[in-house]
Amino acid sequence: MRNGEGHMGLSARSVNVSLGGRAVLHDIDLDARPGEVLALLGPNGAGKSTLLKALAGLLPYEGDIVLGDANSASLSPRARARRISYVPQRSLLRSALSVEEVVALGRYVHGGSFGGLSKNDQEAIDHALDTAHADVFRGRIFTQLSVGEQQRVLLARALASDAPILLLDEPTAALDVGEGMAVLRLIRSLAEREHTIIVVLHDLADARSTTDRALLLKEGAVVERGDTAKVVAPDPIRAVYGVRLIENARIGFEPDQDSSGEAPGA
Amino acid sequence: MRLYALLFFSLLIAGALGIVVGSGDLADPELRDTFLKLRGFRLTAAFLAGAALAVGGVVVQGLFRNPLASPSVLGTTAGASFGGQVALLLSGLTGVSSGLVSPEMLVPIGCFLGALGALAVLLLFLRITQDLLALLLTGFVLSALFLSMSAFVTSVAQETWELGRAVVSFSLGSVSGTGPRQLAFAIPLVVTALTACWLWGRPLDLLLSGEEEAQSMGANVTGVRWWSAIWVSVLVAGAVSIGGNVGFVGLVVPHMLRPFAGTQHQRLIPAAALGGGLFLVVCDVIARVIPARSEMPLGVVTGLIGAPLFLLLLVRLRRERAYA
């Protein structure tokens, strides 16, 4: 984070969400702290993405969501977006905006509703593109990028808002192993800069390698919470997924020490 | 900048042609002043209507995230035209013109209400389904509905010869008879709405990513939608009230300019205003030189130019599978 609102955490108390008359989330409590990555885990349909959207203020909910010192419900959309930034799995953008123009959208929350970009805005855009390693394709058209490249641009767009809380919905879902690893390392480095990060992850091994704490959801309720190593453990995993967890069974990957640490094509 | 220079230069040439070309002879010293005045009004009306319709096109394309949307495709123009005809009919039948509100003022108000009504139906519809094809079909249905209601108004108006003529010529769309009083009402409307659309450019950029992402980036989605609908209605009302009941401008002009001006609204809107004005001024000059028994209606010319261009665009969009 460059400047903006300063460090802040997110806490949710008794959050309930109903979609189309059906209760999807039941009494969720969670706390996310600056400098930490919190994982939302669970099988398909457990309500991970719904919870993330509710936390971002994109879905109606009951209960309390507090961002820093303010209740999310009392904030205007812009004030909320200055505190919390949501990165969707894929963007619905289909228009021919350039990468730089897409990242500039993140600056809308600052300055007036009307008028153009200030010098400060431009600096934030440059900084965000640089942090997300997206500066190399800043002049290209967003829709013509690969999914992995788009994911980094969306991250840069979120970073440009200077919001201290970041919510990411399956950021590695459609990426290859190199791209996925680059995004996960980026998430780690953002946490080191005191961002508060909540991330929905599908891959439990990724959760173990990248996140500090985790919330395991099943059918809209929390089954297990705590350190990721404690949550991604044989008993809870068997209870939720119906599979046995075997330590060190899968092949693993690590960044190539000889390369710059960037995914190829970055 | 080169784009603006080119647009300005072309506009100067088209404007000069708009003054010189026509059936009247400027060499006649007695009539010259009258001709120049009439053509000046006409030129202003064509430019204003073109600018308004092109920017209206840019905004509805962003608003509905649909490259094939435009005020005419969505039924907004037909709504405005119907509203204007009703206003004409009312002022004609009741003789309001002698009262507080003159017909020059009543017609833009009618056009605005008609346009806003049409857009409101679409926005409410958008809350039920986000399907873009369904949206275009609804616009088509609205258009057809307004046209048939306009036919009814026309038939009622036929009972008085002069009123009938006024309603028919209004619905045909022609800037040839636009007078200074109509312009005096339309100019502030259109200029205000053009400025407002430019000011709303950034939130409109956010809407290009869809409702959820726009909201997550701090946009008040409902507010942006309704304000945009109001500004587009003002633009279309301004255009239609001065004879700009013409199709294809809002569709063709933004698409032709996007490759050069980009997609960002604050860059595209000024270019579209100039480009749209230029397009209608040129169409109006063409309408005057095409040999016909009487002058060809402007809407016929924009249709003849716009329809093939629209089909070309459709082919290109299908090939690129994206907004151009």
CATH number at residue A156: 3.40.50.300
- Give the integer Cα–Cα distance in Å for A215 and B5: 59
Nearest to B54 by CA among B288, B291, B246: B246
Burial status of residue B98 (CB atoms within 10 A of its CB: 0-12, 13-18, 19 or more): exposed
Tokens of A107: 């600056």
Is residue A209, in this structure, part of any structural domain at all?
A: yes
Q: Output the pLDDT for position B283.
A: 92
* Closest chain B residue to A115, measured at CA: B199
Stretch among A89-93, B25-29, B156-160 having the lowest mean pLDDT: B25-29
Closest CB from A76, A88, A95 relative to B213: A88
pLDDT classification of B89: cutoffs 50, 70, 90: confident
Question: Residue B137, exposed/middle/buried by CB under 10 A (0-12, 13-18, 19+)?
Answer: exposed
CA distance A197 to B116: 43
pLDDT confidence band for A35 (50 / 70 / 90): very high
A238-250 tens-digit pLDDT: 988 888 888 766 6
Outline where chain B has alpha helix (H): 2-20, 29-63, 76-94, 103-126, 132-157, 161-172, 180-199, 201-207, 211-216, 221-241, 249-261, 265-289, 298-320
Query: A29, A186 in Cβ contact below 8 A?
Result: no
Query: Is A223 inside a domain boundary?
Result: yes
Which of B62, B220, B324 has the CB atom closest to A77's CB atom? B220
For A110, name the nearest residue in chain B, comparing CA atoms only: B218
Which DSSP helix (H) or strand (E) runs through A157? Answer: helix A147-160
Domain count across chain A = 1
| Per-residue confidence (pLDDT) for residue B166, from 0 to 100 | 81
The answer as to whether A4 is a domain residue is no
Return the H-helix or E-strand segment holding A127.
Answer: helix A119-131
Positive or negative CA dihedral for A131, A135, A138, A141? negative
| Interface touch B205/A101, C-beta < 8 Å | yes
Q: A89 CA to chain B: closest CA distance, Å? A: 11
Is A230 within a domain? yes
CA pair distance B320, B104, nearest whole angstrom: 45
Q: Decide if A70 is inside a domain.
A: yes
What pLDDT does residue B168 have? 83
Output the pLDDT for position B178. 78
Interchain proximity A143–B322, CB inside 8 Å:
yes
pLDDT digits (tens, 9 = 90+) for A86-125: 999 999 998 889 999 999 999 999 876 566 788 899 999 9
Question: Testing the interface with B: which of A55, A76, A114 to mutate, by most B Cβ within 10 A?
Answer: A114
Residue A255 lies in a domain: no
Query: B212 vs A80: CB contact, 8 Å cut-off?
Result: no
pLDDT of residue A1: 54
Determine the pLDDT at residue A115: 63
Per the CB < 8 Å rule, is A81 touching B218?
yes
Cα separation, A102 vs A118, whole angstroms: 16
| Model pLDDT, residue B103 | 67
Give residue B20's region: left, alpha or beta (phi > 0; psi -120 to 50): alpha
- Average pLDDT for chain A: 89
Whether B220 contacts chain A with CB within 8 A? yes
Residue A46 has pLDDT above 80, yes or no: yes
**Among A5, A52, A95, the residue to mutate for chain B (most B Cβ within 10 A):** A95
CA distance A200 to chain B (A): 17
Residue B140, amino acid: F
Distance from CA of B207 to the nearest CA of A (A): 9
**Chain B interface includes A95 (CB < 8 A):** yes
> pTM value?
0.88
Question: Quick check: B205 and A97 CB within 8 A?
Answer: yes
ipTM over 0.90: no
Domain region containing A220: 10-241
Rg (alpha carbons) of chain B, rounded to whole number: 19
* Structural domains in chain B plus CATH codes: 2-320 (1.10.3470.10)
Q: Tokens 């599978």 identify what position?
A: B321
Contact with chain A for residue B128, Cβ under 8 A: no
Minimum Cα–Cα distance from B199: chain A residue:
A114
Interchain proximity B218–A115, CB inside 8 Å? no
In chain B, positions 44-83, which contact chain A (CB-CB < 8 Å)? Answer: 62, 65
pLDDT at residue B96 is higher than 60: no
A85–B262 C-beta distance less than 8 A: no
Examine residue A120 and state whether it is found in any structural domain, yes or no.
Answer: yes
Confidence of residue B50 (pLDDT cuts 50, 70, 90): very high
* Residue A227 belongs to some domain of the structure: yes
Q: According to the per-residue pLDDT averaged within each range, which of A173-187, B98-112, B119-133 is highest?
A: A173-187
Whether residue B219 and residue A77 make contact (CB cut-off 8 A), yes or no, is yes
Tell me: pLDDT of B31 over 90: no
How far is Cα A219 from Cα A203, in angstroms, rounded to an integer? 18
Instruction: Give the residue on A whose Cα is nearest the Cα of B224.
Output: A113
From chain B, pick out residues whose CB is under 8 angstroms from the CB of A169. none
Interchain proximity B209–A105, CB inside 8 Å: yes
